[in-house]
Structure 1
Amino acid sequence: MSPHNIVDGCKLVAVLTLWLGPCAGVKHTGGANAAERREHTTHSSVGLGEVVLVIQSQRNSYHARRAGQRKVEILQQAAKLGQGAPVVLLLHELSEFDGDWSILPALPHLSATYGQSASWFFFIEEETRVTLSALLHVLNRYPVQYEWFLGKRLHDKEASIIHHYAFSEDPCSFGYPDPAAGWALSTPLLHRLAARVQYEPLKSDFSIDLKHEIALFIWEEGNGPKLTAVPEFCTEARDDDCASTFTTYLPNCGDPVSEKDVFVAVKTCAKFHSERVPVVKATWEKDAAFLEYYSDVTDASIPTINLGVPNTERGHCGKTFAILRRFLSQAVPRADWLLIVDDDTLVSLPRLRRLLRCYNPKEAVSLGEKYGYGLVQNGYSYTTGGGGLLCLCRMVLSRVAVSRLVSSGCGCFSDDAPDDMVLGRCFTSMGVPITHSPLFHQARPDDYSETLISSQQAVSFHKHWNIDPVAVYKHWLQDTHPRDEL
């Protein structure tokens, strides 16, 4: 194709995509363009007292403690600088409503309480370290009277199911922030978003991927700002001046829990015995001390256990609650933790055991990838099973959580009810927090930003569609040199 045939930037993107593949050679900055950023480099003079740092904390005791330690570190750093102190908030303490984790429900409170004195709101995770002097240097590049959405830019390499195939014609064109590096909103933007949340219904009742949904809400179909990429918002420390860095996705809380502390329940059915179960056996089954397959038929060759609950096409609530009752019975070895997975889930049990060391098995713990339903309307959170109404669960529950749930009387309204959502509704009514870990994934590696998952030590992925699941397991989940075996 002759260069003379390329008449605009959109066609150039299309040509580069054909020649080099998606995203190749195309650099998206979002927000203000480079000339505008140069123009605004000296227009602001923000002090620490005008910055609100929001730590995206969780109610679980381990996470609340880590977030509290991060807050202390930030305030100690501010005291040494002697330039005033930022406001440092723990997200889970803003209100009694657990749905504040999805950020949007918390915006009206942040706007009304802190918006009159603050110029910037900076959101970080509990393992995000912040260098306050460098953060001020970054924020002062952007005039505070305008709307700014700043962060480390992620994008989809290809249209992704977890983002409802948004921007399928050019997935690279839309950027969303890496929460581990932190992301910032100028106060004028936060005020407008807070007003919108209160009068404008969201396009979906479900909260699935927080970072992408926030970017979409802010972008407002082109009426709001795109994400402006900030190189100083980092995950890995570099030689230049990072304003933020991320410590770890898989914290070191000591020796991993014993293999015998984890009981694994694999949900399957007759039609997948020959297709999916062999993958489990070829990959991660060997790392389980206690594992049972639950099906609608008994198959001695696997073996499977028939719980007396018929297989359902939509939802598996009846089967899941039967598994919960069996876990508490004398029919299986006693263990502190119950992992429930579908038969097309890939899991690293050694990494899971390392992660579980951080949690107290004497507490009611529900751990996994956190979703929400109707959160702006005081809905509830749940540990996703993925797969929509098929509810293919990947969740970890402490024995205490299972015992409290079973004895509560809360349960399925039908065998084919969505089990993950029913469990979430039950735990919410019981006051048991749903704890999120980004190491659990409801989809395939290809459905996530490569930049993001390459920096993780993932615990799980899901679905065998259009992939070699054994190869995926070996590449993303199998440790070459296991360092966590007891």
Structure 2
Amino acid sequence: MPHTFLLSGAVIGFVLCHLFVKSIFELSGVSRQFIKAEQRFPLELNISSWKTDEVAKQLFSKVRVLCWIMTQPQNLQKKTQHVRASWARHCNTVLYVSSETTDFPTVGLNVSEGRHNLYWKTIRAFQYIHTHHLHDAEWFLKADDDTFVVMENLRHLLCQYDPEKPVYLGHKFRVFIQQGYMSGGAGYVLSRAALQRFVQGFRSGQCQHFSSLEDMAMGKCMETMKVRAGDSRDEKERETFNPFPPTSHLLPPDNGKQSWGYSYYPTKKGPGCCSDYAISFHYISPIEMYVLQYYTYYLRAFGYKHRFNPVVSSNCTLKS
């Protein structure tokens, strides 16, 4: 009887392992197919009366964003490759930050993996970027390997700010920190001046690693170094950075009660939850990365006039 159980366990284990490996290879194939398809059907964005993607191209040159993706060795094939195949290609510069250097490629930092080391990884990542990439961009975005970001919408927000002033933006939470702090999962972006102050805070001892809660501890350092926690909502006071998937923001919970109370500003459910120019969503699976990529850049409703046409300043449309 014990031998029967042992044999059965071995067979079940083999089947589960086979299915897991098979799913990884299938998703790898999906990422390659998606890139090839996008090459066959080039992206063209129609923005009001401007020529195709002219505004997006101008902003790509004017509002340079370095994206660094927090990941780990076991996630490179499960998650990170799908970030690389989808939205990360719209960054000006992208770094994949892990505990090990690989040919993915990843930037390996001298930090162990685990949730209790997330803030250490964040500190070391920004210090590395300050040393090696400070002048490669004006803005520096931190995102997780399960965050989806619409880079064009991020640049539309950032073009209204001066990167030489200390500010950081994201989905603002109201607890613990007086001025609020930005959700780590939704992603947050630092101006060059904010990055410089963050690094200076650790050099001077004004900032410390005092908590494993990465986003809250980051917010404490930002407040200490007098980096303003900006308001990233759109003109209609709808959130652009979102800490959950679209369904969690659009649909009310089954019990009808508000399930999230950390947000700095009042939250809404339904189509008014999020900006038409939403920037990010969190807890996005690999398959959902490609679905959101399609919805963002390809799906259009014929003959439909968009409900929201924000004022676009000359800073966002004219070349320097």
> Is the shorter-chain TM-score for this pair beyond 0.5, marking a shared fold?
yes
CA distance in structure 2 between the partners assigned to 1:454 and 1:429 by the alignment: 30
Structure 1 412/269 Cα, relative in aligned 2: closer, same or farther at 3 Å? farther
Alignment of 1:388-427 (within 5 A): 392=185, 394-408=187-201, 409-413=205-209, 417-427=212-222
Extract unaligned runs of 5+ from structure 1. Answer: 1-251, 386-391
> What does 1:283-298 align with in structure 2 at a 5 Å threshold?
283-298=86-101
1:361 matched to which residue of 2?
163
Alpha-carbon distance between aligned partners in 2 of 1:394 and 1:479, rounded to the nearest angstrom: 24
What residue is the counterpart of 1:276 in the other structure? Answer: 79
| Equivalent residue, structure 2, for 1:57 | none
Residues 274-330 of structure 1 show CA distances to partners (whole Å, capped at 9, x for unaligned) of 111121122112212211101112220x21110111112235111111111122113
Cα separation, 1, equivalents of 2:149 and 2:286: 18
Q: Which has the higher strand share?
A: 1
Q: 1:325 to 1:445 in 2, by over 3 A?
A: same
Alpha-carbon distance change, 421 to 451 in structure 1, aligned in 2, over 3 angstroms: same
* 1:450 matched residue in structure 2: 270
Larger relative contact order (CA 8 Å, sep ≥ 6): 2
TM alignment of 1:264-343, pairs within 5 A: 264-300=67-103, 302-314=104-116, 316-330=118-132, 334-343=136-145
Measure the CA separation in 2 of the matches of 1:312 and 1:447. Answer: 26
Contact 2:222 2:228 in 1 (8 A): yes
- Of 213, 217, 227, 1:432 maps to 227
Relative to 1, partners in 2 of residues 1:479 and 1:428: Cα closer, same or farther, differing over 3 Å? farther
Aligned residues: 221
The alignment partner of 1:339 has SS state of strand
Q: CA deviation at 1:429?
A: 2.2
The amino acid across from 1:434 in the alignment is A
The CA distance in 1 between the partners of 2:194 and 2:287, in whole Å, is 35
Question: How far 1:345 sits from its partner (Å)?
Answer: 0.7
1:23-50 CA-to-partner distances (Å, cap 9, x unmatched) read: xxxxxxxxxxxxxxxxxxxxxxxxxxxx
CA distance in 1, matches of 2:123, 2:186: 12
- Mind listing any 5+ residue stretches in structure 2 that lack a counterpart? 1-54, 233-238, 250-268, 301-311
Residue aligned with 1:397, SS: strand
Is the alpha carbon distance of 1:317 and 1:297 closer, same or farther for their aligned partners in structure 2, counting shifts above 3 Å?
same
Residues 176-195 of structure 1 correspond to what in structure 2 (within 5 A)? Answer: none
How do 1:163-242 residues align onto structure 2 when only pairs under 5 Å count?
none
CA deviations over 1:370-409 (Å, ceiling 9, x no partner): 002147xxx4511111xxxxxx461100110111121123
1:382 pairs with 160, 165, 181, which one?
A: 181
Q: CA RMSD in A?
A: 3.0
Distance 2:274 2:180 in 1: 27
Contact 1:348 1:478 in 2 (8 A): no
Q: Given that residues 111 and 117 in structure 2 are in contact (C-alpha distance below 8 angstroms), is that contact kept between their aligned partners in structure 1?
A: no
For 1:226-264, what per-residue CA distance to the aligned partner results, in whole angstroms no more than 9, with x for missing partners? Answer: xxxxxxxxxxxxxxxxxxxxxxxxxx9xx5252772111
2:297 counterpart of 1:478: yes
- Contact 2:169–2:188 under 8 Å retained in 1: yes
User: 1:427 is paired with a residue of what secondary structure?
Assistant: helix
1:372 aligns with 2:174: yes
Residue 11 of structure 2 is matched in structure 1 by none
Partners in 1 of 2:84 and 2:106 — Cα distance? Answer: 13
Q: 1:435 to 1:327 in 2, by over 3 A?
A: same
For residue 430 of structure 1, report the CA deviation from its aligned partner: 2.7
Instruction: State the distance in 1 between where 2:95 and 2:126 align.
Output: 13
- Tell me: CA distance 1:480–1:454, structure 2 relative to 1, closer, same or farther (3 Å): same
Structure 2 Cα separation of the partners of residues 282 and 467 of structure 1: 11
- Kindly provide the amino acid, as one letter, of the partner of residue 277 in structure 1: T
Relative to structure 1, the CA distance from residue 347 to residue 393 in structure 2 (aligned partners, 3 Å threshold; closer, same or farther) is closer
Native 8 Å contact 1:324 1:402 kept in 2: yes
TM-score by length of 2: 0.62
Q: How far apart are the structure 1 equivalents of 2:97 and 2:186?
A: 13
- Aligned mates of 1:278, 1:394 — CA distance in 2: 18
Mapped partners of 1:454, 1:395: distance in 2: 16
Matched, 1:468 2:288: yes
1:135-194 C-alpha deviation (Å, 9 max, x unpaired): xxxxxxxxxxxxxxxxxxxxxxxxxxxxxxxxxxxxxxxxxxxxxxxxxxxxxxxxxxxx
